Structure 1
Amino acid sequence: MSGTKKESHWIPLADLMTVLMVIFLFMSISYMALVEKRQKEQNKIFKDYEESKIALYNELNQAFKNDFAKWDLKLDNDLSIKFTNPQVLFGTGSSDITSHFQTILVDFLPKYLSVVLQEKYKDKIAEIRIEGHTDTKPIGLSGDPYIDNMKLSQDRGRNVLAFLRTQKCFINLQPTEKERLQYWLTANGLSYGRAVDKNYKISFDTKQPIDNDKSRRVEFRIVTTSEAIINEALKNIDNK
């Protein structure tokens, strides 16, 4: 009799264990499916990021292949185009665009816009930054050369953007294109925070001496939508 009671006591427990194992199995399968889905989404983002960068790089390289030496342009893998001759950009300590640089921009801007405003890049570009960079030489009287140069670099970036808006290549755009470009464009000043070495590499990264002549430059840099998503994901990881 006691054996019968003992057996009837363990049967429900065995059933419970079976149910729990089935639930755990379904949870494991669901979790694995979720992980696989997220991995596929991440892979798609990275693939899209690389494909967009390569396509834009190739088209920019093709558009300006005859101008790099003529205008002292440098195209980097981060989709930045650098104007690297400080003598033709601005006067020393000035944010006024020289007549020589204006002549260059008149030819440069239509070619640049013809690449970035293609319909196929409409959802691939998140931002186009016009960046002003200075050397490390002190200017002004504030006592903080970094801040003085920050204002100078911001004024230079802003003046290049203002000049763009006066050109036919901008004025004659379709309203939707003009709206898109205005959404993308920003003017940024970075003072000498990203001064470069003799090889145009960021001196802070390479630990090589700063080349003041090469550091005085203006850059047009494209940020792709995939790059923005990746940066936001990394930011969220850092905040956890």
Structure 2
Amino acid sequence: MSGTKKESHWIPLADLMTVLMVIFLFMSISYMALMEKRQKEQNQIFKDYEESKVALYNELNEAFKNDFAKWNLKLDNDLSIKFTNPQVLFDEGKSDVTPTFQNILREFLPKYLRVVLQDKYKDKIAEIRIEGHTNTKPINKTSDPYIDNMELSQNRARNVLGFLRQQDCFINLETNKKDRLQYWLTANGLSYGRTVDKDFKIAFGGNQPIDNDKSRRVEFRIVTTSEAIINEALKNIEEK
């Protein structure tokens, strides 16, 4: 009798264990499906980012294919367009945009804005930096040539931005595009912190000496929303 009684208690317990195992199995399957979905979403985010970067590069390359040699332009994979002929940009030690560079910018800017202000890129671009870069030569104002050149490079970048804002291609923009561009645009002076070698590669950490002539340049650099993409990916990882 007692053995029968114990067995009657064991059978419900076995059933309970079976139910718990089934629940755990379904939870595991659901979790795996959720992780697979998140991985697909993350992969799509990176794919969209890479496709947008490639598309921007290709469109900029197409827009200026006839101008690279004429204006001494260089388009890099980081979506920066470099004006690399210092003799036409600014006079030595000065920050005023030369008449020659003004004429180049009058042609350059409408083409550039037509590419970057397309609606398909409005959520792909985080910033457009106008960067001023100097060489390592001091301009004899204070005892710190780096700070002197920082001021010079900042003034150069600011003056290019100011010139852009005076052009019809900016003034006549629709309000929403003008607001978007104003949100994106920054003027950045980098002194001689990012000098380049003869191949236009950053000299710091490289094996070639600084090319002071090539280091004097202005860049229009597109910063994509990659930071937001990376943050989203990290958020997904933390939630796993």
Task: Give the TM bin, normalised by the shorter chain.
Answer: 0.7 to 0.9
Q: 1:104 and 2:104 equivalent? A: yes
**Corresponding residue of 1:123:** 123
**Deviation at 1:220?**
0.6
Q: Which amino acid aligns with 2:169?
A: C
Q: What does the per-residue CA deviation read over 1:23-81, in whole Å, with 9 as the maximum and x for residues that have no partner?
A: 32233222212221221112211221122122221221111111111111001111110
Measure, in 1, the Cα distance between the counterparts of 2:16 and 2:5. 18
Q: 1:15 and 2:22 equivalent? A: no
Q: Which amino acid aligns with 1:59?
A: E
Measure, in 2, the Cα distance between the counterparts of 1:207 and 1:21. 62
Which stretch has the larger CA shift, 228-237 or 63-72? 228-237
**SS of structure 1 residue aligned to 2:204:** helix
**SS of structure 2 residue aligned to 1:131:** strand
Equivalent pair of 2:42/2:233 in contact (CA under 8 Å):
no
Q: 1:77 and 2:77 equivalent? A: yes
State how 1:171-210 maps to structure 2 within 5 Å.
171-204=171-204, 206-210=206-210
Pick closer, same or farther for the CA change 1:21–1:205 going to 2, 3 Å: farther
**Corresponding residue of 2:229:** 230
Q: 1:155 and 2:155 equivalent? A: yes
Q: What does the per-residue CA deviation read over 1:154-190, in whole Å, with 9 as the maximum and x for residues that have no partner?
A: 2211111001001111111122221121111111122
Measure, in 1, the Cα distance between the counterparts of 2:133 and 2:2. 89
What do you get for the CA RMSD once the two structures are aligned? 2.4
**Corresponding residue of 1:31:** 31
Measure, in 2, the Cα distance between the counterparts of 1:162 and 1:15. 78
Equivalent pair of 2:129/2:187 in contact (CA under 8 Å):
yes
Q: Which amino acid aligns with 1:32?
A: M
Q: Any unmatched runs of 5+ in structure 1?
A: none
**Deviation at 1:132?**
1.2
Percent of pairs identical after alignment? Answer: 79
Pick closer, same or farther for the CA change 1:171–1:20 going to 2, 3 Å: same
Q: Which amino acid aligns with 2:171?
A: I
**Deviation at 1:131?**
1.1
Q: What does the per-residue CA deviation read over 1:118-139, in whole Å, with 9 as the maximum and x for residues that have no partner?
A: 2332333222111111222334
Measure, in 2, the Cα distance between the counterparts of 1:144 and 1:35. 54
Measure, in 2, the Cα distance between the counterparts of 1:113 and 1:133. 22
Which stretch has the larger CA shift, 196-205 or 10-19? 10-19
TM-score, structure 1 as length reference: 0.87
Which stretch has the larger CA shift, 111-120 or 199-208? 199-208
**Corresponding residue of 1:212:** 212
* Count of residue pairs the alignment pairs up: 237
**SS of structure 2 residue aligned to 1:203:** coil
**Deviation at 1:196?**
1.5
**Corresponding residue of 1:94:** 94
**SS of structure 2 residue aligned to 1:209:** coil
Measure, in 1, the Cα distance between the counterparts of 2:117 and 2:234. 29
**Corresponding residue of 1:41:** 41
**Deviation at 1:104?**
0.9
